[in-house]
Amino acid sequence: MSRLNWLLSRIRRTLWVRVALYALLGLGAALLASLSSRFLAGQAPLDISSDAIDSLLTIIASSMLAVTTFSVGALTAAYGGATSNATPRATPLLTEDGVVQRSVSTFVGSFVFSIVALIASKVSVYGPEGRAILFLVTLGVIVLIVIALLRWINQLTKLGRVGDTIARIEQATDGAMKARIALPFLGGRALEGGYQGTPVLSEEVGYVQFVDTDALSEIAEEGEVDIDVHVLPGSFVFEGSVLACVPASDSPLMDKRAEAIRETFTIGPVRTFDQDPRFGLVVLSEVALRALSPGINDPGTAIDVIGRQARLLTYWGDAWAEAEGCEAEYPRIRAPALHCDDLFEDAFTLIGRDGAGHVDVMLRLVKALQALARIGPPAARAAALHQLQVALVRAEVALTGADDRRRLQAAAGMFAVADR
């Protein structure tokens, strides 16, 4: 994906863009109805009085203003609930929800349509043909409003709830994992070893949000050089951090090429889900930590998160073994792989720390890690086994009840027996 396509995809997911488009559609529908007299001169399909149209438009305008105000308040409450009960990092997923955006956009677009049509009607812009067309368009708008209200009411029953938020995070993480599996090394070849060649240094401080491998490949092909990418999306870089390395060349050409390479890295203040599978695992872990805090004390949510983490890492282990052997789409680009140790640490280390005193959480964590230690490539199995050992050590210290320790030891012993 090019940087332009990535930026356009992010813009399309913002709420205000869709609202603005629907508002423009409402404005256009109201104005275009005034031109109908040119095409239907003396052939009005219906005889509609101005008072009837004005009454309908007034009802739509007043009701849509109230509904829009209520919707904004509901969204604010949902975002606040997701922030306090789950994690602030999940709120962008709520704002990008398609049902939310279509519903709010329909309400605003209908309001704009009715206001503009009312104004045009009062200044006698519409003739008999225009009023007939406007009446039919108004009926269509009412149908759209009813459908949007029904979908919006259904969405409000779950928007901002912890379960819905966790499901959104899992879906976003799954999408990021599938995108990385499709391009395991950002579309290039595997990078092994340290820095070789002339480094291209960062001039910004922040998270790498996107790497435009299309543009990088063009630079490499044009200069007939190989480019080694040293930071993946999700990495935090400082001013002077090495972004990539290229073979040494004459200084003027190198400066120009380094600037072009540097522009392919989008650096921002926060991490995003798009090219960063690890971020999704981190956010899921944050939800579990919030649930295990004394103020919330909801181990059931932590258990739910462990199950979702296990499902995601099961997919990753099965898919990565095949993906890393695929032919490179950009043969002149080399990039590091996502290490299983990092993925498992993001998913389970902090849950094992904060949940060490909860036997129910630890039992689920142990069982999940036991299952993951039996599947996938050797690196994934080793990472799961390491997290299992760390979790058991912490639980032995944190669990105060002898019966709780016995249950956990029994679960670990069953794994040891089955593994022989």
Q: Clarify whether residues 289 and 357 are in a common domain.
A: yes
Domain with 200 in it:
188-268
Looking at per-residue pLDDT, the higher value among 101 and 121 belongs to 101
> 197-230, pLDDT tens digit by residue?
888 999 999 999 999 988 999 988 888 888 999 9
Domain boundary among 268, 293, 318: 268
Domain boundary among 268, 296, 318: 268
Provide CB contacts within 8 A for 267, sequence distance 6+. Answer: 202, 204, 205, 206, 207, 208, 209, 237
Is the pLDDT score of 157 beyond 90?
no
> 40-83, pLDDT tens digit by residue?
555 555 666 778 888 888 998 899 989 988 888 888 888 888 88
* pTM (whole model) above 0.95: no
CA distance 265 to 267: 6
CA distance 264 to 229: 11
Radius of gyration of the chain measured on its C-alpha atoms: 28
**What is the rounded average pLDDT of the residues 340-365?**
93
The runs of H, that is alpha helices, within 97-246 are 98-122, 128-156, 162-182, 213-223
Segment holding 229, helix H or strand E = strand 227-229
Contact between 108 and 22 under an 8 Å Cβ cutoff? The reply is yes
- Report which of 238, 241, 213 is spatially closest to residue 335, judged by C-alpha positions: 213
Q: Clarify whether residues 216 and 285 are in a common domain.
A: no
Contact between 113 and 27 under an 8 Å Cβ cutoff? The reply is yes
Q: Tell me the three state secondary structure of residue 207.
A: strand
Q: Clarify whether residues 99 and 63 are in a common domain.
A: yes
| Domains identified in the chain, total number | 3
Can you give the pLDDT at residue 268?
92
Can you give the pLDDT at residue 371?
92
Centroid of chain to Cα 40: 48
Q: Clarify whether residues 232 and 100 are in a common domain.
A: no
Looking at per-residue pLDDT, the higher value among 322 and 128 belongs to 322
Q: What is the CATH number of the domain that holds 245?
A: 3.90.1170.30
**What is the rounded average pLDDT of the residues 126-148?**
83
